[in-house]
Structure 1
Amino acid sequence: MNDEPETIAERLQSSFDDLTRAERQLADSLLTSYPVSGLGSITQVAKAAAVSTPTVVRMVQKLGFTGFPDFQSALRRELEARISDPITKRDTWVEKAPDAHILNRFTDAVMGNIRQTLTQLDPDMFDRACAMLAELDHSVLVVGGRITRSLADYFFMHMQVLRPDVTHIQSMSNAWVHYLLDIQPGDVVVIFDVRRYENATLRLAEMAREKGARIILFTDQWRSPVHEFSDCTFCGRIAVPSAWDSTVTLMLILEAVIAEVQEHTWDSSRQRMEDLEDMFDRTRFFRKFT
């Protein structure tokens, strides 16, 4: 069982409806440049949100902390987790690892990640993202990072079958700015970015937003800085007993998105899929056992 606690960002999001107007204002301020935005003094945090210091105290207590120092300690632990390198992450897991076999421990962690991720996922946002991707009068661009490029490639391949005008930004080299030239207002840029967040990806999101593009972000529980520019953000929990993070939860959401976009576009995507199968047959791309 994955007993990793919720992040403060997740606590803020899940309790948002129960907060007062001033507390919601504070929550919005904290989620901007999170988690660094909460690491100043209580006076600085209150001033940045244009609220009183008692409001800060009341809200952190609503989140389950004894006070502001306890709240900041949790933030610092999150920040340490975000920036830790693979070797440090593995050492932490090894120290805490139970005696059970790695297959059991890893599976328990992944299942816990899935449960907690789905608990936090907003169905309305999911539907909105799928509808955006099904708008055939707007282009879709897909970009991943060092680790998430495989997710981007997988998503691109399926989107390319389901609809036209899909572009895969395959490398975040200096040439990535070329892809911005043809972005039109309303186009959709799908970005994959998990910790250790990439500077080029953030800059791409910022510049695409300036051109009127809408952004769908797939990230981790700590949320990439790209979240500041995104219209829809999917946060998948990624921590597992390994030096590497797991992308299983993101893949689950991704495949659900693909399935829903297929339903939205079925009238046209069915013909595209039939045409593709015909080309596979003509080129004998796949071996047939008949």
Structure 2
Amino acid sequence: MSDPYQTIADRLQARLDDLTRAERQLADSILAAYPISGLGSITQVAQAADVSTPTVARMVQKLGFKGYAEFQAALRSELEAKISGPIARRETWAEGAPGAHILNRFTEAVIGNIRQSLAHVDPAQFDAVCDLLADPARRVHVAGGRITRTLADYLSLHLQMVRPGIVPLQGQQNAWAHSLLDIDAGDVLVIFDVRRYENATLRLAEMASEKGVEIVLFTDQWRSPVHRLARTALVSRTVVPSAWDSSVTTLLMVETVIAAVQERCWRETHGRMEALDEMFNRTGFFRKFT
């Protein structure tokens, strides 16, 4: 049974090894401005990728569609899901909700999200993210949106214990311009952006990219518009039986990144943790049981 939440981008990534050179060129073109890039006529999509129209027809069939019209219908459905708000999401899953208890249904959805997300993570890309974040020559700036700010804070707090040079972008988004003054070429900017994607986050990514900053994106399966500017993106599936998307898989990605960066920096991290514990002891921050 096919996964109803599998995007065309997921299918393309999963089938890359099965595509011809021309089809892979077409896939790259579609993913570069996904999903808008696939909404033109078959001729327009072929011309944008510099391939023939038969190449487009063959590739959509390899992805499991009967023809180009069915492929575009699926893309339009994705676009509708991408821009939908909490009320529309709740109505979508409630219509066909099974009778099992919400604890079971929600947990099964989360487990499915984790499995599908991990199946599509490129280990080389994941390692590249961790290498960037562990590089002592680079400062790391971390920004999140209205909902994802908590994930950004979680990542930056842990990275501050692991290594120096971590700069959380806090406060109102209209203050981010001040932070851009101190971002230099070669720095890393970690951005969290999930549907409904925020304009301020995209503007931040655009201006940082112009300054030669390496962008790492944490996003959902529909992919934030920031992904076209990112050096790499860690994609997490988010759909659960709720009006709100789930952050569980994204948090798993974040915690795994923290663990991997910690190991890469362990010699320095060990000393930083000892110094931090000494500060906590002197301030009496944590309660002691004696």
Into which bin does the TM-score normalised by the smaller protein fall? over 0.9
Alignment of 1:1-290 (within 5 A): 3-290=3-290
- Structure 1 CA distance for aligned equivalents of residues 144 and 171 of structure 2: 8
Gaps of 5+ in 1: none
Deviation at 1:41, TM superposition (A): 1.0
Deviation at 1:3, TM superposition (A): 4.3
- Structure 2 CA distance for aligned equivalents of residues 2 and 164 of structure 1: 45
Query: Contact 1:83–1:196 at 8 Å: present in 2 too?
Result: yes
Would you say how many aligned residue pairs link Structure 1 and Structure 2?
290
Deviation at 1:184, TM superposition (A): 1.8
- Structure 1 CA distance for aligned equivalents of residues 2 and 203 of structure 2: 34
- The DSSP-based 3-state class of the residue aligned with 2:191 is strand
- Structure 2 CA distance for aligned equivalents of residues 16 and 25 of structure 1: 10
Superposed CA deviations along residues 214-263 of structure 1, whole A, max 9, x for unmatched, are 11100000111111111121000000000000010010011000001000
- The DSSP-based 3-state class of the residue aligned with 1:16 is helix
- Structure 2 CA distance for aligned equivalents of residues 269 and 42 of structure 1: 53
Kindly provide the amino acid, as one letter, of the partner of residue 241 in structure 1: P
Query: Contact 1:189–1:213 at 8 Å: present in 2 too?
Result: yes
Kindly provide the amino acid, as one letter, of the partner of residue 250 in structure 1: T
Query: Contact 1:172–1:201 at 8 Å: present in 2 too?
Result: no
Gaps of 5+ in 2: none
- The DSSP-based 3-state class of the residue aligned with 1:141 is strand
State the TM-score, normalized to the length of structure 2.
0.97
- Structure 2 CA distance for aligned equivalents of residues 16 and 9 of structure 1: 11
- The DSSP-based 3-state class of the residue aligned with 1:156 is helix
Query: Contact 1:202–1:225 at 8 Å: present in 2 too?
Result: yes
Kindly provide the amino acid, as one letter, of the partner of residue 50 in structure 2: A
Query: Contact 1:42–1:56 at 8 Å: present in 2 too?
Result: yes
Query: Contact 1:141–1:167 at 8 Å: present in 2 too?
Result: yes
Kindly provide the amino acid, as one letter, of the partner of residue 289 in structure 1: F
Which 4+ stretches in 1 moved above 3 angstroms? 1-5
- The DSSP-based 3-state class of the residue aligned with 2:183 is coil
Superposed CA deviations along residues 36-77 of structure 1, whole A, max 9, x for unmatched, are 111111111111111111111000001110000010111111
- Structure 2 CA distance for aligned equivalents of residues 286 and 190 of structure 1: 30
Superposed CA deviations along residues 153-175 of structure 1, whole A, max 9, x for unmatched, are 00010011111111111135322
- Structure 2 CA distance for aligned equivalents of residues 175 and 123 of structure 1: 35
State the TM-score, normalized to the length of structure 1.
0.97
Q: Between 1-10 and 38-47, report the one with greater CA deviation.
A: 1-10
Using the aligned pairs only, state the percent identity.
65
Superposed CA deviations along residues 77-101 of structure 1, whole A, max 9, x for unmatched, are 1111111110010011111100000
